[in-house]
Amino acid sequence: MNEAADDDAPSRERLIEALRLMLGARRFEEAAAQMFGMGLIEGDLQLSIGQEAVCAGLRLACRPGERMTAGARCLGHAIAAGVAPRALAAELAGRRGGLTDGRGGGRLISPDVGFFGGAPGGTALGEAIGLALAAGVVGAGAAAVFATLDEFDAVRGETLDALRFAQAQRAPVTLCVAEGRVVDGESEAARIADAFGLPAVEVDGQDVAAVAVAAAAARRQALAGGPALIVARTIRFRGHSMADPAGRPGAGALRRPRAGDDPIERLRDRLLELGCADETLEAIEARAEAEADAAFAFAEAAPRAAAEVAA
């Protein structure tokens, strides 16, 4: 696998936009974790705190009208895609005013912004392929579709079968594996790339600019010749899920955070070096925190989903 080239580097303005997306994702997930602990959100809650550079970097590479699918660890991607925080919070809490008035059953879908999250198991890639092929069938023109999975779902049979089909159809899809675990010092996703002969790039998933560069290159490859793969080496700052904070069992060692690994702090330092004012960055953070607080205040006050009330 190759490292990403330094083409398509985002401008300072795009990096400011990336910071807005990353802080929006971080503050929303932190608020969601708090609401989970208070019982507002039931069942399981999978978080991607620490992986916001992947969410934002992929969005920087998307063009208007392009779509993204994601597995269960999809909240940060939903916020970065432009899903309304209030609607997302209400859906998580099973309340009216959510994306499906709280009846989504774990799916977090917002077609108006091209986001399809919460796909079970390894089915997010198959969903992305369907969306990509359908766009061509209905004459919408060439459009890339990104699918994001963690290292567990990337090696499921559903994902591998979908990759075979995508290659046969030359589907314009990019699979991004946000990989926080390695086995015997080697990436499982890298093994998949070698086995399938996929164009692939391995990138520092804590660096939003590097992810954006890799995603832009993968998008071009997918449009020109079929599926491409990004392996983003990431670090989750919390466990696998709030319901099972110890982490999902499996082989391999989790990457542990060290000083300098926080993608938001990295980007903030970079923007300061580029001449951004402290006040500008502080205003972005304050807005992200206010939006997250307002979203869950709305969810807490909203009526319960109609099906739950009827029961």
Render pLDDT for 9-49 as a digit per residue (tens, 0 to 9): 899 999 999 999 999 999 999 999 999 999 999 888 899 99
Query: What gap in Å lies between CA 105 and CA 101, rounded to an integer?
Result: 11
| Structural domain count of the chain | 1
What CATH number is given to the structural domain containing 156? 3.40.50.970
Let me know if 268 is exposed, middle or buried by CB neighbors in 10 A (0-12, 13-18, 19+): buried
Going across the sheet that includes 173-179, the strands are: 2-3, 200-204, 228-233, 173-179, 145-150, 67-70, 115-117, 108-110
Of the candidates 123, 114, 131, the one whose C-alpha atom is nearest the C-alpha of residue 71 is 123
Which tops the pLDDT comparison, 177 or 151?
A: 177
| Token pair in block for residue 75 | 């909240």
Least confident of 112-126, 204-218, 238-252, 283-297: 238-252
Domain that holds residue 181: 2-310
Query: What gap in Å lies between CA 46 and CA 44, rounded to an integer?
Result: 7
pTM here? 0.90
Query: What gap in Å lies between CA 211 and CA 243, rounded to an integer?
Result: 29
Render pLDDT for 250-306 as a digit per residue (tens, 0 to 9): 555 566 777 789 999 999 999 999 999 999 999 999 999 999 999 999 999 999 986
Distances (CA, A) of 197 to 15, 123, 164: 33, 21, 11
User: What amino acid is encoded at 46 in this protein?
Assistant: Q
Render pLDDT for 65-104 as a digit per residue (tens, 0 to 9): 899 999 989 999 999 999 999 999 999 999 999 999 888 7
Q: Nearest 5 degrees, angle CA 187-CA 188-CA 194?
A: 90
Query: What gap in Å lies between CA 83 and CA 79, rounded to an integer?
Result: 5
**Phi then psi for 203, rounded to 5 degrees?**
-140, 155
